[in-house]
């Protein structure tokens, strides 16, 4: 019978230095995960889901239609006490009543936790990655009965805290959990992602970083201007999260919408004098055969 070698024996046999392995950050992280109750399969799943997602390496998700009716929302900040779950319930009802073709979310699904703002933890009712993940899954389960695909990106609150702070990407693991619940969903990138209609019309989801501006339309205009430098062709529709504002403007040929928020004004926002525009959009989009927009009907559902 062949003797099964221990890890230490295998390393010794391959002339690897066990002390060097054990002192590595990767080894320490794996041991911490095991102490936290994660088995080998769970660790592999986390590693797979945490792989850096570069939306520029991906082809746009394609929709086989020239007419696309969808709901657009963002900045739920699930885990923050100011997250309004009643709006998500209303969103689900409207999506079903309007018979939308899809649901698009522009990031900051979870509230995260900024270590440089430790007091923010007192504004949360779900603390830490696991708790916020489970609450987010529970809230998105409200959309399950609609039986329509959900497309989403992640934002700075997931990336700047969980990816930079712990090396774990929320979006990938969130997708695995929604898959497990049988919900059709597509994680299309951090900060940006594209959806394309069969005519070639393109919808871009964006979640920039940085602070809000005094003038409502200033940041969206600068964002659209910057896109022209990085892409030979501007998107037909740009959905912008992060600023917690609701706005529609047609600028440089792009139908541009700020997607609002499902989170009320936090103490941080109040201290900065930043209002929160609570609500979501229902957008009816018609595309010409050449990929241009023939007609767009945006309706904002507003909440106090």
- The domain that holds 169 is classified in CATH as 3.60.21.10
Q: Are residues 299 and 150 in the same domain?
A: yes
Of 293, 66, 102, whose CA–CA distance to 199 is shortest? 66
pLDDT category at 290 given cuts 50, 70, 90 is very high
Q: 204 and 132: one domain?
A: yes
256 with 213, same domain: the answer is: yes
CB 196 within 8 A of CB 68: no
Q: Is residue 214 part of a domain?
A: yes
- As given in the structure block, the two tokens for residue 280 are 């979501």
**pLDDT (average), residues 160-175:** 88
The reply to whether 116 and 225 lie within a common domain is yes
Structure token digits, residue 207: 């979640």
92 and 44 co-located in one domain: no
Start-to-end C-alpha separation, the chain: 72
Same domain, 13 and 125: no
Contact between 120 and 268 (Cβ < 8 Å): yes
Residue 206 has pLDDT above 80, yes or no: yes
Report the pLDDT averaged over residues 106-130: 90
Q: What is d(CA 251, CA 238) in angstroms, rounded to the nearest whole number? A: 10
The rounded distance, in Å, linking the Cα atoms of 106 and 102 is 13
Is the confidence at residue 65, as pLDDT, over 90?
Answer: no
What letter would DSSP give residue 161? I
Evaluate whether residue 244 is within a structural domain: yes
Q: Quick one: 194 and 280 in the same domain?
A: yes
Higher pLDDT, 91 or 2: 91
Query: Is residue 293 within 8 Å of residue 287, measured between CB atoms?
Result: yes
Share of the chain above pLDDT 70, in %: 80
pLDDT band at 287 (very low <50, low <70, confident <90, very high): very high
Distance CA 242, CA 83 (A): 15
63 forms beta bridges with: 197
Q: What is the pTM of this model?
A: 0.80
Residue 249 resides in a domain:
yes
Do 84 and 213 lie in one domain? The reply is yes
| The total number of structural domains that make up the chain | 2
pLDDT at res. 167: 83
In a domain, 58, yes or no: no
171 belongs to a structural domain: yes
For the ranges 29-33, 143-147, 263-267, which has the lowest average pLDDT?
29-33
Position 175 scores a pLDDT of 96
Confidence of residue 103 (pLDDT cuts 50, 70, 90): very high
Check: CB of residue 148 under 8 Å from CB of residue 102: yes
Q: What is the extent of the structural domain holding 26?
A: 8-49
pLDDT at 231: 57
Residue 55 lies in a domain: no
Judge whether 68 lies within some domain.
yes
Q: Are residues 189 and 214 in the same domain?
A: yes
Q: pLDDT confidence of 136, banded at 50, 70, 90?
A: very high
In the predicted structure, residue 111 carries a pLDDT above the cut 60 = yes
Q: Find, among 112, 102, 114, 113, the residue nearest to 73 by Cα.
A: 102
The predicted structure's pLDDT at residue 56: 45
Looking at the domain assignment, is residue 54 inside a domain? no
Give the pLDDT band (50/70/90) at residue 57: very low
Residues 194, 250 share a domain: yes
* Same domain, residue pair 21 and 91: no
**Do 14 and 105 belong together in one domain?**
no
**Residue 242: what pLDDT?**
96
């Amino acid at each position: 019978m062949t003797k099964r070698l221990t890890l230490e024996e295998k390393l010794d046999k391959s002339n690897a230095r066990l002390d060097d392995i054990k002192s590595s950050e990767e080894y320490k992280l794996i041991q911490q995960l095991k102490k936290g109750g994660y088995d080998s399969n769970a660790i592999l799943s986390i590693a797979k889901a945490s792989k850096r997602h570069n939306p520029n390496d991906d082809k746009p998700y394609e929709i086989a239609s020239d007419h696309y009716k969808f709901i657009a929302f963002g900045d739920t900040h699930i885990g923050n006490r100011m997250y309004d779950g009643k709006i998500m319930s209303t969103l689900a009802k409207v999506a079903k009543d309007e018979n939308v073709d899809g649901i698009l979310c522009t990031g900051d699904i979870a509230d995260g936790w900024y270590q440089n703002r430790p007091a923010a933890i007192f504004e949360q009712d779900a603390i830490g990655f696991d708790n916020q993940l489970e609450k987010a899954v529970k809230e998105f389960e409200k959309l399950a009965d609609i039986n329509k695909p959900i497309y989403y990106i992640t934002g700075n609150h997931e990336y700047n805290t969980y990816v930079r702070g712990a090396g774990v990407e929320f979006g990938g693991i969130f997708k695995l959990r929604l898959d497990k619940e049988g919900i059709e969903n597509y994680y299309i990138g951090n900060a940006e992602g594209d959806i394309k209609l069969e005519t070639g019309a393109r919808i871009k989801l964006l979640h920039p970083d940085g602070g809000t501006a005094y003038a409502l339309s200033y940041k969206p205009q600068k964002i659209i201007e910057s896109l022209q430098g990085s892409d030979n062709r501007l998107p037909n529709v740009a959905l912008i999260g992060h600023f917690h504002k609701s706005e529609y403007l047609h600028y440089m040929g792009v139908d541009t919408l700020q997607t609002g928020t499902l989170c009320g004004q936090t103490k941080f926002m109040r201290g900065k004098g930043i209002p929160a525009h609570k609500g979501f959009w229902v957008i009816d989009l018609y595309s010409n055969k050449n990929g241009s927009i023939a007609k767009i009907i945006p309706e904002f559902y507003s909440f106090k």
